[in-house]
Amino acid sequence: MANNDLIGVYYIKNTENDEFQDITTLFDGVRVLQVSGVASKGKAVNVYHEQWINSDKEDYIVTSNDGIIIRENVDIEVTFLVHQRYASNNIDVKTQHDLFVKYLTDKDVWIRTGYQNNVIAHCVCLDSYEPTTMKLQRNKSANYALGTIKLHCLENITMTS
């Protein structure tokens, strides 16, 4: 029997016009443990400043007409586990792992989390990926895969209500 404590928490889609789908139903046996970095703010990119040696005040300029500070887009990390105990049916851990990784790495993705005020991040995987732990060829209930995928946000992270 599947452990369904994370149903309705993490959602994903591959195109802007698609509907978000629950990760626990789209990928049987996959449990997202953490999406870190969604509350981060990148460093300012349009503020230039200089502090002088004889003063504690800085000269600065914000290079936008309206004074709005533009920030770098951040990276987020999705840490996940694939295990039979989170599946509603018998699964092949390696296959489910590979399908989930392919989904996150082959195209840009939108990730929405019910934590942190329904954050939506539009991301792409720029880095390589290697599973943190891959334990296979044991009895079926002992197989598992653990991994973390680093994704770069393509735009500001948004919060929905």
What pLDDT score does 100 carry? 97
All domains in the chain, ordered by first residue = 10-41+72-159 (2.40.30)
Give the pairing type, strands 21-22 and 75-83.
unpaired
Q: What torsion, rounded to 10 degrees, do the Cα atoms 142, 131, 97, 138 define?
A: -20
Its sign, for the CA torsion 27, 33, 39, 41, is: negative
CA distance 116 to 106: 26
pLDDT in tens, 65-75: 898 999 999 99
Nearest CA to 157 among 39, 15, 23, 28?
Answer: 39
pLDDT in tens, 5-60: 655 689 999 988 899 999 988 999 999 999 999 888 899 999 998 988 888 888 88
pLDDT in tens, 112-125: 987 766 789 999 99
Structure pTM? 0.84
